[in-house]
């Protein structure tokens, strides 16, 4: 069976909830270190290990690094951006390299594209698609590539203690070329797998060389969906998956697989179809993020994710017997 990952967060931070998720078929979890460090997450990690012991399984732990991803800075409080209003670019607390790249007409996507701004000048932007902006959410400048270091100092500190916390894999965001992965590999503890997140066109163009260096490719559809017109994303996902299969490289599909379940106990038909198609395309693993980290129904999310994966795997093996025509 393929790997099925949830994401650690406040909604599944206790051993009881995690045990239920593991018993349903979850094989591991992701810990997002964009906002915190491994030592600061010690209680959640300990809860995972306790839950795995109770469930009688070996749960995998992936850490998602800060890497070169562009993010909004730390805000004093959530910032409401009203559609049609203007906002001061300074209020977003963007890195200086990003501020320097802003020009009139440049679009700015925030929080995986949920919010859209257009710069009027280097200091002011019009809000084209508004919403509530939280600290440290992703930012993207369509058409612009801004080169940041592959590893932050915090990343290096987390890697230095990764084995102490039972980390089994490292997810490197916004991989641009093989050099990024070589830097991470040099700092990686022995026995820890390297997952290369494809989130930009630069990563797509360098995919063949990344396959040679990574242990698994991650089709990270959040920011990848900002890099291309959204209607092109499904085809791009198919192309990446096909090349991975051809090169016998395991790949993961992630982002918004059960997004509606952050607030609903039942997914949409489109969402379960999306999961099944990832399995049928040969994915080695699937993952949910906010659905279990902050969503209202983390256990039900895992139930639907695992059962959909199992049904698709039965179909692949020609064992589907429950549905007649």
pLDDT digits (tens, 9 = 90+) for 162-207: 999 999 999 999 999 999 999 999 999 999 999 999 999 999 999 9
Task: Characterize 151-162 residue by residue with b for buried, 16 or more Cβ atoms within 10 angstroms of its Cβ, and e for exposed.
Answer: bbeebeebbeeb
Percent of the chain with pLDDT over 90: 86
Mean pLDDT of 16-41: 97
Lowest mean pLDDT among 6-15, 90-99, 259-268: 90-99
Mean predicted lDDT score pLDDT of the chain: 94
Q: Does domain 79-140 have CATH number 2.60.120.560?
A: no
Give the pLDDT of residue 98.
Answer: 87
Residue ranges per structural domain of the chain: 3-68+149-316, 79-140
Check pLDDT > 70 for residue 234: yes
Q: What is the pLDDT of residues 110-144, one digit of tens each?
A: 998 899 999 999 899 999 999 999 998 889 898 88
Fold of the domain built from segment(s) 3-68+149-316:
TIM Barrel (3.20.20)
> pTM of the prediction?
0.84
pLDDT band at 315 (very low <50, low <70, confident <90, very high): very high
pLDDT band at 145 (very low <50, low <70, confident <90, very high): confident
Task: Characterize 19-33 residue by residue with b for buried, 16 or more Cβ atoms within 10 angstroms of its Cβ, and e for exposed.
Answer: bbbbbbbbbbbbbbb
pLDDT band at 321 (very low <50, low <70, confident <90, very high): low
Check pLDDT > 90 for residue 320: no
Mean pLDDT of 23-34: 97
Check pLDDT > 90 for residue 285: yes
- Dihedral angle, C-alpha 287, 270, 281, 182, nearest 10 °: -40
Give the pLDDT of residue 89.
Answer: 94
Three-state SS for the chain is CCEEEEECCHHHCCHHHHHHHHHHCCCEEEEECCCCCCHHHHHHHHHHHHHHHHHCCCCEEEEECCCCCCECCCCCCCEEECCCCEEEHHHHCCCHHHHHHCCCCCEEEECCCCEEEEECCCCEEEEEECEEECCCCEEECCCCCCCCCCCCHHHHHHHHCHHHHCCCEEEECCCCCHHHHHHHHHHCCCCCEEEEEECCHHHHHCHHHHHHHCCEEEEEHHHHHHHCCHHHHHHHHHHHHHHHHHCCCCEEEECCCCHHHHCCCCCCHHHHHHHHHHHHCCCCEEECCHHHHCCCCHHHHHHHHHHHHHHHHHHHCCCCCCCCC
């Amino acid at each position: 069976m393929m790997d099925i990952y949830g994401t650690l967060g406040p909604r599944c931070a206790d051993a009881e909830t995690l045990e239920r998720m593991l018993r349903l078929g979850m094989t591991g979890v992701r810990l997002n270190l964009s906002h915190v460090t491994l030592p600061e997450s010690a209680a959640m990690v300990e809860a995972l290990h306790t839950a795995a012991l109770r469930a009688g399984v070996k749960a995998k732990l992936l850490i998602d690094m800060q890497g070169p991803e562009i993010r909004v800075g730390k805000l004093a409080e959530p910032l409401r951006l009203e559609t049609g209003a203007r906002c001061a670019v300074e209020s977003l607390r963007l890195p200086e390299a990003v501020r320097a790249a802003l020009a009139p007409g440049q679009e700015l996507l925030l929080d995986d594209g949920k919010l859209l701004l257009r710069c009027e000048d280097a200091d002011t932007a019009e809000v084209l698609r508004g919403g509530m902006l939280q600290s440290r959410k992703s930012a993207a400048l369509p058409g612009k590539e801004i080169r940041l270091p592959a590893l932050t100092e915090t990343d290096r500190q987390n890697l230095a203690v990764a084995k102490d916390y039972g980390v089994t894999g490292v997810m490197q965001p916004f991989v641009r070329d093989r050099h990024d992965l070589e830097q991470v590999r040099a700092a990686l503890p022995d026995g820890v797998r390297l997952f290369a997140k494809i989130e930009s066109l630069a990563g797509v163009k360098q995919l063949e060389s990344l396959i040679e260096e990574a242990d698994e490719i991650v089709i990270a559809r959040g920011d990848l969906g900002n890099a291309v017109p959204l209607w092109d994303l499904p085809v791009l996902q198919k192309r990446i998956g096909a090349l991975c299969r051809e090169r016998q490289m395991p790949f993961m599909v992630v982002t918004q697989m059960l997004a509606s379940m952050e607030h609903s106990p039942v997914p949409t038909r489109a969402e379960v179809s999306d999961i099944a198609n990832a399995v049928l395309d040969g994915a080695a693993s699937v993952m949910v993020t906010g659905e279990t980290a902050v969503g209202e129904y983390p256990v039900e999310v895992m139930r639907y994710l695992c059962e959909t994966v199992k049904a698709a795997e039965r179909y692949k093996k020609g064992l589907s017997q429950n549905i007649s025509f």
